């Protein structure tokens, strides 16, 4: 008995005379799917109102000088001057460095601690539910409340941590967490990691639960040790969720405002000033809406770039399934 190959039975070589389906242009495609668009029209309307218009207005304002002694309607057109001023300003360079230190360390530490907690919680043990709930507490606490509490815990004169360190004889004076230009950023990052690691933990725990148990057992039977099972079986399976978690953490940290603003206001001497707090200070502390808008547009472009990778990471599976 001879088995016909799929190529001979299913696929036929395309002949020159075959009729191709007519390719529709974008308008025709929209018209074809007009009913679908009708259903999403209200959402698009809301999006245009609350996202597109502010984006447009921010870009528009970024070309104007808006000094504090002028009303906004009297703004002066300055072309790309605001962009040049942002790019060349020393305070922006300082804030940029701080932002990357803040973002990369916060993301790295929150992810590592979150992943470690997820690995621990992925095993059955007594009190697992309670521990999981407890570890989630920082994530569900309001960021504003947390920032105020940590501000007092880290207070340079009468903070709890400083008092304990003096009482135990570890330091002579309370540790200066928030009023020292060298220590303020690590202190803020510690608070941010405390607030964010449960998010990474939940995401990674969800990812770990998709790793097939049989595969891990099979690897064990084949003689793989715990590290090899983790590295060769678990990690490849959670690669997708890792990417999404890291990207979300990166975007969240780049957009951070609450913790640094409430705890230090960007100080002392700008040592904890990051992009968003800096933009806020320029816009509302110094009333330079044009300059702050140019700064925001630059940040928007960077965020869009990251958003592109995020969407790609999210839809990669879909692309494969659609060939």
Partner 1 sequence: MSKSKDDGILSRPLGRRQFMAYTAGAGVAAAGLSSTALAQASKTGVDPAKWTAAYIKSIAGTETYDTAAECYKVVPKDYKGRLTYWYFGPTQASPQIEHDLDKQFWDAFKAMYPNIQVTALNLNYNEMIDKLRTSAIGKAAPMVVRLPILAGVEFAAKGQLMEFGPESVGYSKDEFWPGAMKSVTWKGKTYGVPTNNETMALIWNAALFKAAGLDPESPPATWDDLVAYSKAIKDKTGKNGYGMVARVNAGNTPFRFMPQLWAFGGGALDEAEENPTYKSIFVNNDASKKALQASYDMYVRDKSVPTSALTNTQNENQDPFIAGNLGMMIAHPSEYAVMLDRAKKATGEDKKVADEVVANMRYGLIPKGAARRAVVFGGSNAHVFRPDLVDGGLDVNAAKAIIAFATGPEWSTKMAWVSSNPGNLRGFKTKWMKERLETIKFLDVTTSMLPNGIPFPVVPQATEIMNIIVPNMLQNVLTQKMTVAAAADTAAKQIKELMNEL
The site for partner 1 (CB under 8 A) is made up of 65, 67-72, 151, 155-158, 173-174, 176, 178-181, 264-271, 281, 284-287, 289
Nearest approach in angstroms of CB 254 to partner 1 is 23
Range 55-60, long-range pairs (CB < 8 A, 24+ positions): 55/300, 58/293, 58/296, 58/297, 58/300, 59/293, 59/297, 60/293
Please identify, using beta-carbon distances, which residue of 254 and 283 lies nearer to partner 1: 283
Query: Among residues 196, 208, 200, which one has the least CA distance to residue 239?
Result: 208
Please identify, using beta-carbon distances, which residue of 67 and 307 lies nearer to partner 1: 67
Q: Which two tokens stand for residue 263?
A: 């705890």
Q: How far is CA 21 from CA 13, 18, 24, 200, 323, in A?
A: 17, 10, 9, 47, 18
Nearest approach in angstroms of CB 186 to partner 1 is 16
Nearest approach in angstroms of CB 156 to partner 1 is 4
Nearest approach in angstroms of CB 271 to partner 1 is 7
Nearest approach in angstroms of CB 231 to partner 1 is 45
Dihedral sign computed on CA atoms, order 192, 196, 200, 201: positive
Round to whole Å and give the CA distance between 83 and 215. 54
Nearest approach in angstroms of CB 168 to partner 1 is 18
Please identify, using beta-carbon distances, which residue of 200 and 263 lies nearer to partner 1: 263
Please identify, using beta-carbon distances, which residue of 150 and 199 lies nearer to partner 1: 150
Please identify, using beta-carbon distances, which residue of 159 and 198 lies nearer to partner 1: 159
Query: Among residues 211, 302, 285, which one has the least CA distance to residue 251?
Result: 302
Round to whole Å and give the CA distance between 190 and 218. 40
Please identify, using beta-carbon distances, which residue of 207 and 290 lies nearer to partner 1: 290
Round to whole Å and give the CA distance between 291 and 279. 9
Torsion-angle region of residue 268: left (phi > 0), alpha (psi -120 to 50) or beta?
beta
């Amino acid at each position: 008995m001879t088995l016909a190959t799929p190529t001979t039975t299913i696929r036929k070589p395309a002949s020159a005379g075959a009729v191709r389906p007519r390719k529709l242009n974008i308008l025709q495609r929209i018209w074809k799917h007009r009913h679908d668009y009708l259903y999403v029209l209200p959402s698009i309307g809301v999006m245009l109102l609350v996202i597109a218009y502010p984006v447009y207005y921010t870009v528009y304002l970024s070309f104007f000088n808006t000094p504090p002694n002028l009303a906004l309607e009297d703004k002066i057109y300055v072309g790309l001057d605001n962009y040049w001023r942002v790019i060349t300003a020393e305070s922006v360079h300082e804030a940029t460095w701080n932002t990357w230190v803040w973002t990369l360390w916060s993301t790295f530490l929150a992810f590592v601690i979150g992943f470690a907690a997820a690995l621990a919680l992925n095993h059955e043990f007594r009190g697992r539910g309670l521990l999981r709930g407890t570890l989630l507490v920082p994530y569900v606490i309001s960021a504003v409340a947390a920032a105020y509490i940590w501000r007092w815990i880290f207070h340079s004169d009468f903070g709890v941590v400083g008092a304990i360190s003096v009482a135990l004889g570890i330091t002579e004076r309370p540790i200066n967490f928030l009023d020292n230009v060298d220590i303020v950023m690590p202190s803020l990052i510690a608070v941010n990691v405390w607030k964010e690691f449960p998010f990474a933990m939940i995401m990674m725990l969800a990812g770990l639960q998709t790793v097939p148990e049989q595969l891990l057992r099979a690897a064990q039977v084949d003689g793989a040790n715990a590290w090899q099972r983790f590295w060769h079986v678990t990690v490849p399976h959670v690669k997708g969720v890792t990417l999404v978690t890291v990207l979300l953490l990166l975007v969240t940290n780049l957009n951070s405002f609450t913790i640094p603003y409430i705890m230090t206001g960007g100080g002392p001497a700008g040592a904890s000033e990051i992009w968003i707090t800096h933009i806020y200070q320029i816009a509302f502390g110094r009333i330079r809406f044009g300059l702050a808008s140019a700064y925001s547009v630059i940040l928007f472009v960077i965020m869009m770039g990251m958003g592109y990778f995020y969407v790609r990471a999210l839809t990669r599976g879909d692309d494969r399934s659609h060939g």
